[in-house]
Amino acid sequence: MKQFFVFIKKEFRHIFRDTWTVIILLVLPILMLVLFGYALSTDVKNTEIAVIDPSRDAATEKIISLLDLSDYFNVSLTVESPDQIEDVFRGDNPGLILVFSENFYEEIMHTGEASIQLIADGTDPNTAVTIYNYATAIIMSYQQELLRVQSFPYEINITPRYLYNPEMKSSYNFVPGVMGMIIMLVCAMMTSISIAREKETGTMEIILVSPMKPIVIILSKVVPYFFLSCVNLATILLLAVFLLDVPIAGSLFTLVILSFIYIFVSLAIGLLISSIANSQIVALLISGMALMMPVMYLSGMMFPVENMPLPLQFASHILPAKWYIAAAKKVMIKGLGFSSIVKEMLVLSIMAVVLISVSLKKFKTRLE
Amino acid sequence: MSNTVIHAENISRKYGAVQALSEVSFDVTKGEVFGLIGPDGAGKTTLFRILTTLLLADSGSASVEGFDVRNQYKEIRRRVGYMPGRFSLYQDLSVEENLDFFATVFNTTIKENYHLVKDIYVQLEPFKKRKAGALSGGMKQKLALCCALIHKPGVLFLDEPTTGVDPVSRKEFWEMLGNLKRGGISILVSTPYMDEAEKCDTIALIQKGSFLKIDSPENIVNDFGHSLWEVSGKNMFALLKDLRSFPGIRSCFPFGDTHHVTFSDESISSDKLKKFLELKGHEDTFLRRGKAGIEDCFMNLSHEDDIL
Amino acid sequence: MNIVTTEKLTKKFGSFTAVDHISFQVARGEIFGFLGANGAGKTTAMRMLCGLSKPTSGTGSVAGFDIYRQTEDIKRNIGYMSQKFSLYEDLTVRENIRLYGGIYGIKEKEIKPRTDSLLDELGFLSEKNSLVKSLPLGWKQKLSFSVAVFHDPGIVFLDEPTGGVDPSTRRQFWELIYKAADRGITVFVTTHYMDEAEYCDRVSIMVDGRIDALDSPGRLREQYESKTMDGVFQHLARNATRQAD
C-alpha cells in the first residue's frame, strides 16, 4: 500500500514540476471552454443593420423597431436606393441589409403577401446563416402578432423552432462537447504519455524489475489522472453554469455518474495506447490523431451526426465520446432523466469493461 | 546451497532478422565481479534484460539465485538490483526523492539500509535537494547505483555504468564496486572499455552475440599465444604503414605511444625488423618485448582469420 | 601558422563560469586532443569555436575568421562530427554524402566521382545503396567522419567520435584521422580513451573551465612523472572542484 501512495506522490510531482503539463491539464480546459463559449460561438450580438424602406408604413416601421429592440441587431443606417447596396457593404459593412418591397403594408393587407429581402455578407457563411435565421425569427414573430390581431388567414411558410435552446445559444452545445474532449485528452493522452516517458527514460525497466505488482503500477499511473479529470469536470461545470449561463437542467448526480463511466473508458484507452507506444512522441501522435481528431469531427461536437454521410455516422458509433456527448446533452440541456440515457450508459459501460480488461491483459510485465 | 548465483545455458535471442545473442552460456559464482566486455551492439544489453526477466530468450535457460528467469520472475525481481544502460532516474525529482522513491518501491526505507549506500551517498548528500537531471555524469552514476542498492540485493546487474563517464569518475566507480564485492554482493557488469576488464574477477569477451572467451583477465592475457613487440618511432603513422608491409607480420595495431606487433613466424628476430624499418627510412625506431593486454586479446580473438 | 587561436576566451552562464580565460593555439595540420572530465567545459569551448555559441569575453579565431562576427564563414570552413548526431538513418549511404556535399556547396559533377573514391577508400562500395541504419556502429562512425571532411575543411571538430566502438574499428577510425591530417586537415578531437590521447600531436587537459596542461603526450608524461596519459589525466582532474555538468 505504501508503494502505491509513494508512486502517486511521485506522479503528482512529475505533473506539477512540468509547466507545460500543468498548462495542458489545468489551463487548457478553461481556455477551451471560454474559447468555444465566446470566441468561436456563432451567437450574434449587436449586428449592424442597414434598411431600404421605400414604403415607410406602419408595418415596416414596426418590423424595424422590433429588430432594433432585440439584443441581436442595431438598425444604424437607412439607404435610399437598392443601387447603393454594394457601396454600403464596402463602406459601412453592416451585417445585414433589409430591403422592403414598395407598399409593404398595403400588400399584406390586400394580397396577404409581401416581401422582404435579407442581404447578408456571404464571406462568412456560418455567421450569415445565423444572422439570417435570427432576423427571420423576429420578422415571423411580427407576422404572428398580425395574425392574432387580424381576422383573415395568413399562410406562414417557415417557423424556426428552437425547442431546447430558445435563445439559440451555441455554448449550450459546446459545453458537453468540450467535456467529452477534455476528459479524453487528460485521461487517454496524459496517461499514455506518462507511461511512455518512463519507457523512454529507462525508469520503467527498473520499476518492472521491482517487486511492485503490475496492477499496482497501472493503478498508480491511472489514479492521478482520474483525480485530475474530476477536477476538470468540476471546473468545466462551474464555468458553464456561472460564466456561460448554461444551466444544468437535469440531475447533477446522473451527469457525474455518466462522466465517471466515460473517464474509465478514456483511462483504459490511454493504457492501451501506452502498451503500443514506446516513446512519448508516438503516444502523442496516436492519442492526437486517433482520438482527438475523430472526437472533434465525428462525435457530434461540431457537426451534427445526423448530417454526416452514412459511413461516417457508422464510424461515430464506435467513438465513446459520441455516446458521452449525446447523453450529456440530454441530461444537461434537455433535463431528461436517467431512463432516457440508459442506452448510452449501457454502451459506455460495455466499452469500459471491454477496454479495461483488454488493457490490463495487454500491459506487459516484460519489455516485449 | 550451490555457490552459483547466475547460471545461463545456451541462451539465444533474435530481434527480427538480427541474431542478438547466440548460444551463450556462463556461470557467476557468489561474491564475484563478472564483466561482460564488448563493443556497442554486441548483445550485452539483451543478455542483461533476459537475466533481469525483462525479456524472454528464444531458447536456452537461465536462473538467478536459483530462480528460473521465465517462470519465477517475481522471485528474481525481489532479489536483484538493476541499473540499465541509459540514465534511468527521474530527472525532475531531486536526489533524495529518487532514492526515497526506489526504496519504497522495493519495500524498504532509506533508514533501514542506509549502511549499504552510505559510502556512496555521502558524496551526494551536499546535492540532495538538486534535481537528478542537473547532476554531472559521474554523480548521476553514483545516484543510480545507490538506487539499485537500497533494497539490499544479492546480485547487482550494471549495464554499462561507466559509458560516457570521464576516467576519474570511472576509476571512483570501480573502487565503489570493489567495496560492494567485499560486502558479499555478486556483480554482473558490462563495459565497452577494455581497460576496466582487469578490475573483474572473471570476464567474458563478447562480440556479435557470442562469447569469444570466458576466463579470468590474467588467464586471458596469458593465453594470448604470441610474442608481442612494442615498436615506436618518430613518425608513428608512416611507421604503422611500413610495419604492415613487413613480410611475416601477423598483426600490427597502434596502442597509445607504441605499435603492438606480432609475427606469424615466432623465429623472426627483432633485428631483422629493425633493419627493414631502417631501409624504409625510420631511423630512431625503438623495439622491445611487451605484454599483451585485454584489448590485444580481444582483437586477436575477434579477428582470428583476417587479423589486419 | 595557426588555424585556431584563442586569447582569454571566457563563457559565463549567469554566475557560473563554464570556460574560464582559456588561451591556446592549434597549428595547421595538427592532431589536437582536447581532454577533460565531464563538466570541465570542453563542450562549451568547442561550441564557441564552431560559431554556435557567443563568448562572454576574450577573443578567438578559427580558420582565419573571428568567432564573434564571422560565424557563418567559420561554419563553412570547418567539419563537425559528434557522437549523437552523425547521419540520417533513413537515407542511404550515397544519399547522405550527396546531401552533405550539397549543403557545403560542392559542385554537382564533382560529388559523384568524389563519393565513389570515398566509398572505395572505406571499402563501402558494396553498401552505397544501403540505409545507414542497417550499418554497424563502427561503420557509421567511419562514414560520418568521412562525410565531415568531405568538403576538405581546414579543420574538423570531433566530439567523442569513438565512444562504444569496438577496439579494431576504433583503430581503423584513427587511421582515417591520420589520413585526413596527411591531407592537411587539422583535427580537433575529444575522447575518454586515454590511449587515444597518445595518438595526438598535442593534448590539452581542461579542469574546471581552465586549460591546466597543454603539450605533447610524451612531454606531459615526463612532466607529471607518469607512464601513461591516464596517469597524467587522473593527476590533473582529481584537483577538480566543480561537480555539475
User: Which phi and psi angles does A304 have, rounded to 5°?
Assistant: -65, 135
Indicate contact of C with B: 3+ CB pairs under 8 A.
yes
C245 has pLDDT over 50: no
Binary contact (A3, B105; C-beta < 8 A): yes
Q: Which of 6-45 (B) contact A at CB < 8 A?
A: none
Q: Which pLDDT score, from 0 to 100, does residue A123 have?
A: 66
Distance from CA of B165 to the nearest CA of C (A): 7
Range of the domain at C218: 2-237
Return d(Cα C139, Cα C165) in angstroms, integer.
9
Q: Which pLDDT score, from 0 to 100, does residue A314 have?
A: 84
Number of B:C CB contacts under 8 A? 103
Return d(Cα B47, Cα A10) in angstroms, integer.
30
- In-domain check, residue C244: no
- Which chains does B contact via 3+ CB–CB distances below 8 A? A, C
Per-residue pLDDT tens digits for C95-116: 999 988 888 888 888 999 999 9
Return d(Cα B36, Cα B45) in angstroms, integer.
10
Cβ contact C135:C55 at 8 Å: no
C224 has pLDDT over 80: yes
Binary contact (C136, B41; C-beta < 8 A): yes
Q: Residue A278 to residues A81, B238, C12: CA-CA distances in angstroms?
A: 69, 49, 38
Cβ contact B82:B75 at 8 Å: no
Lowest mean pLDDT among A8-17, A152-161, A186-195: A152-161
Cβ count near C106 (within 10 Å): 18
Q: What is the DSSP letter of B94?
A: B
Indicate contact of C with A: 3+ CB pairs under 8 A.
no
A99 has pLDDT over 70: yes
Average of per-residue pLDDT values in chain B: 90
Q: Which pLDDT score, from 0 to 100, does residue A25 have?
A: 85
Per-residue pLDDT tens digits for A202-256: 888 888 888 888 888 888 999 999 999 999 999 989 988 888 878 888 899 999 9
B305 has pLDDT over 80: no
Binary contact (C174, B254; C-beta < 8 A): yes
Which residues contact residue C103 at a Cβ distance below 8 angstroms, ignoring those fewer than 6 apart? Answer: none
C43 neighbourhood in chain B, CB within 8 Å: none
A2 neighbourhood in chain B, CB within 8 Å: 104
Per-residue pLDDT tens digits for C1-40: 799 999 999 999 988 999 999 999 999 999 999 998 888 8
B299 neighbourhood in chain C, CB within 8 Å: 167-168
A153 has pLDDT over 70: no
Q: What is the DSSP letter of C198?
A: T
Burial of B296 (0-12, 13-18, 19+ CB in 10 A): buried
Burial of A275 (0-12, 13-18, 19+ CB in 10 A): middle
Q: Which pLDDT score, from 0 to 100, does residue C84 have?
A: 67
Sketch the domain layout of chain B as residue ranges: 4-222, 228-291
Q: Which pLDDT score, from 0 to 100, does residue B308 have?
A: 46
Q: Which pLDDT score, from 0 to 100, does residue B304 have?
A: 56
- In-domain check, residue C242: no
Per-residue pLDDT tens digits for A276-319: 888 899 998 998 887 778 887 777 766 666 777 888 888 888 88
B56 has pLDDT over 90: yes
Return d(Cα B84, Cα B48) in angstroms, integer.
8
Whichever domain contains C116, its CATH number is: 3.40.50.300
Domain A47-149 classification at class level: alpha beta
Distance from CA of B211 to the nearest CA of A (A): 24
Return d(Cα B301, Cα B213) in angstroms, integer.
8
A133 has pLDDT over 80: no
The H-assigned helical ranges of chain B are 44-51, 73-79, 95-105, 114-124, 137-149, 167-182, 217-222, 236-244, 270-279, 294-302
Inform me whether the C-beta atom of residue B91 falls under 8 Å from chain A C-beta atoms.
yes
Distance from CA of B298 to the nearest CA of A (A): 30
Q: Which pLDDT score, from 0 to 100, does residue C201 have?
A: 93
B307 has pLDDT over 60: no
Return d(Cα A186, Cα A29) in angstroms, integer.
9
A126 has pLDDT over 70: no
The H-assigned helical ranges of chain A are 2-17, 19-22, 28-34, 58-69, 85-91, 104-111, 125-149, 170-184, 191-201, 203-208, 214-242, 252-276, 280-287, 293-298, 310-317, 320-329, 342-362
Per-residue pLDDT tens digits for A58-98: 888 888 888 888 878 888 888 887 777 777 777 777 778 88
Q: Tally the domains of chain C.
A: 1
Q: Which pLDDT score, from 0 to 100, does residue C59 have?
A: 95
Per-residue pLDDT tens digits for B197-256: 999 999 999 998 999 999 999 999 999 988 999 999 888 888 998 999 998 889 999 988
B275 has pLDDT over 60: yes
Burial of C159 (0-12, 13-18, 19+ CB in 10 A): buried
Inform me whether the C-beta atom of residue B147 falls under 8 Å from chain A C-beta atoms.
yes
A368 neighbourhood in chain B, CB within 8 Å: 55-56
Sketch the domain layout of chain A as residue ranges: 22-40+169-362, 47-149
Interface test mutation site (partner B, options C165, C168, C233, max chain B beta carbons within 10 A): C168
Query: What is the CATH code for B228-291?
Result: 3.30.70
**Buried-state track B176-189, b at ≥16 Cβ within 10 A, e below 16:** bbeebbeeebbbbb
On whether the B4-222 domain is CATH 3.40.50.300, my answer is: yes
Residue with the bigger pLDDT between C5 and C133: it is C5
Long-range contacts of B200-204 (CB under 8 A, 24+ apart): B200/B33, B200/B34, B200/B35, B201/B32, B201/B33, B201/B34, B202/B28, B202/B32, B202/B33, B202/B34, B202/B35, B203/B34, B203/B35, B203/B36, B203/B37, B203/B294, B204/B26, B204/B34, B204/B35, B204/B36, B204/B37
Q: Which pLDDT score, from 0 to 100, does residue B4 have?
A: 93
DSSP states of A117-180: EEEE-TTSHHHHHHHHHHHHHHHHHHHHHHHHHSSS----------SS-TT--HHHHHHHHHHH
Return d(Cα A232, Cα C16) in angstroms, integer.
42
Cβ contact B276:B290 at 8 Å: no
Distance from CA of A366 to the nearest CA of B (A): 4
Which residue is closest to B42 within chain C, CA to CA? Answer: C166
